[in-house]
Structure 1
Amino acid sequence: MDFKAQQNKYTYSSRHAAPAWMDFMRKIVPYQQINHAGDIGCGGGIYTKALAELGIPLVTGVDSSAVMLEAAAENCQKEQGVQFHKGDALATGLENASCDLILERALIHHLPNLQPCFSEAYRLLRPGGTLLIQDRTPEDCLLPGSPEHIRGYFFTCFPKLAEIETSRRHTSENVLENLKNCGFHTLEQHTLWEVRHVHETKEKLLAGLRARLGRSILHTLKDDELEELVLYIDDCITTERDIVERDRWTIWKARK
């Protein structure tokens, strides 16, 4: 998916962070002690906004796409203490030791080499600061499909998508090794089932799939393949209303 294309501007700004994610953050991060958080690879600002809603006084969202940053600014226009900056995850342009918390959610699977990204996060953090990485491992992605785990149906219908997905996902061992190599310590690993969306009807779910809304991997399918996938999922899901879709994520926590 082209994150810099105007037609994709609102692809990653229409959701809200799930209550389970907010509760998890309250448990794992001493947010009351955080004065400045950086959301690296912020996209449409969904989690930039969530960090502000936790009560962090200053949150800076960083993304390399001007289009995404426009959507993020619109998404967060009512939040106090939120600002955005155009920059790359490997070279954000932010000051040394300027953040107490760095969040990198759904970022690292876009990066073949993790060390430059983690080194940049280390540079941005103050001593004792926390880095949170949230992404999916190959094991997270390839869980069986169900009405709760829609993503699993993608790979049953099109095994080639499973190959694409696993090739761009980092193993937990690789993440932890790179964190250590960059100087981080007190490493933790957690699993979180996060509600992606509650689809009021199956038709709305299918419409979202046809629009490839917030699902970058579907952009690798041709239009006729996408329709084949939608019809396949239509057959697999018999529930017509209130479909609660969840994704399993791995979250790594590290300290500087």
Structure 2
Amino acid sequence: MGIDFHSEKNSRTYTTRKADHSWVEAINNLVPIENISSALDIGCGGGIYSKALSDMGVTSVTGVDFSKTILAGAKENCKEYKNISFQLGSAFDTGLDSSSFHLLLERALIHHFEDLEACYKEAYRVLEDGGFYIVQDRTPEDCLLAGDESHIRGYFFDLFPRLVEKETNRRHHSQIVIETLKETGFKDIEEVKLWEIRKVYDTKKQLLNDLRERTGRSILHELDDKELQVLINHIDASLATTDNIIEKDRWTIWKAVK
């Protein structure tokens, strides 16, 4: 099945959240954001993190995505930000000038393809010398942590073991990520783990509705409607908490310098 990034019904699926302070703090600890004047957000989705970079003080932010539909949602989401622009392109061919950005962010992107080298070569090309490259994604180990009151994603795999194979097959091990960065020419590589707050729900009902809509959760498009309802019922029964649910995901962030 899988998510169709070009479908109109998914145009706003990646616009409904705001980057959490936990992410902002992590990025501030990795790069001198106060010195960054131009940033590129490849695989920008709905522009959530393009907005975050702008809010952090980056003068000019460019978002790139391969889906015209997703970009339409991003433009609407960021319409109040005059310093954010968007362009149709891919991680392999952005269509942008060489050596033109101080910072490049690729969040939740590399698990969508196998050819890390081609992705990294394009990143290396568009970054200026000394520019920072931030890659954020989940390793197989990040994905398969058990479900609990805050790690809601873990319940997906507890209940549907076939999703484990799907998820682990598309995720890259950290060693491969780092080795390929080095082979491409990047240096000063640093890896950090981040429990990023995904969203805070006032009530459990809000969380369950979010799951029902598959909002911003591509893995749930692997389930049909009946399976999704089974999952929702399982999570409903598993969570004793009914109010103020703080959902977190564990991520790995790799910082590299050109």
TM-score, normalised on structure 2? 0.98
Provide the residue aligned with 2:241 in structure 1.
239
1:152 maps onto 2:186 in alignment: no
The structure showing larger relative contact order (alpha-carbon pairs under 8 Å, at least 6 residues apart) is 2
Provide the residue aligned with 1:135 in structure 2.
137
Provide the residue aligned with 1:102 in structure 2.
104
1:9 maps onto 2:11 in alignment: yes
- 1:191-230 alignment runs, 5 A limit: 191-230=193-232
Residue-pair matches, total = 256
Which AA in structure 2 matches 1:53?
D
Cα deviation, residue 113, structure 1: 1.4
Which AA in structure 2 matches 1:208?
D
Distance 1:53 1:224 in 2: 40
Question: Per-residue CA shift, 1:203-252, capped at 9, x if unaligned?
Answer: 11111111111110010111111111111111111111111000000000
Question: Per-residue CA shift, 1:39-85, capped at 9, x if unaligned?
Answer: 00000000001011111111000001111111111111111311101
Where structure 1 has 5 or more consecutive residues not aligned to the other structure, the ranges are none
Ranges of 4+ aligned residues in structure 1 off by more than 4 Å: none
SS of 1:131's equivalent in the other structure is strand
SS of 1:208's equivalent in the other structure is helix
SS of 2:98's equivalent in the other structure is coil
Equivalent residues of 1:42, 1:63 under 8 A apart: yes
SS of 2:134's equivalent in the other structure is strand
SS of 1:128's equivalent in the other structure is strand
Provide the residue aligned with 1:161 in structure 2.
163
Question: Per-residue CA shift, 1:77-122, capped at 9, x if unaligned?
Answer: 1113111010011000000001010000000000111000000000
Provide the residue aligned with 1:252 in structure 2.
254
Provide the residue aligned with 1:78 in structure 2.
80
Cα deviation, residue 26, structure 1: 1.6
TM-score, normalised on structure 1? 0.99
Distance 1:65 1:101 in 2: 22
SS of 1:20's equivalent in the other structure is helix
Equivalent residues of 1:52, 1:80 under 8 A apart: no
Distance 2:187 2:116 in 1: 16
Distance 1:83 1:25 in 2: 21
Distance 1:179 1:168 in 2: 18
SS of 2:205's equivalent in the other structure is helix
Larger deviation, residues 90-99 vs 29-38 = 29-38
Which AA in structure 2 matches 1:128?
G
Distance 1:139 1:103 in 2: 22
Distance 1:239 1:228 in 2: 19
Which AA in structure 1 matches 2:230?
E
SS of 2:122's equivalent in the other structure is helix
Equivalent in 177, 180, 184 of residue 178 of structure 1? 180
- 1:110-129 alignment runs, 5 A limit: 110-129=112-131
Question: Per-residue CA shift, 1:142-170, capped at 9, x if unaligned?
Answer: 01100100000000100011111111000
Which AA in structure 1 matches 2:155?
Y
Cα deviation, residue 32, structure 1: 1.7
Distance 2:61 2:5 in 1: 22
Question: CA RMSD, aligned part only?
Answer: 0.7
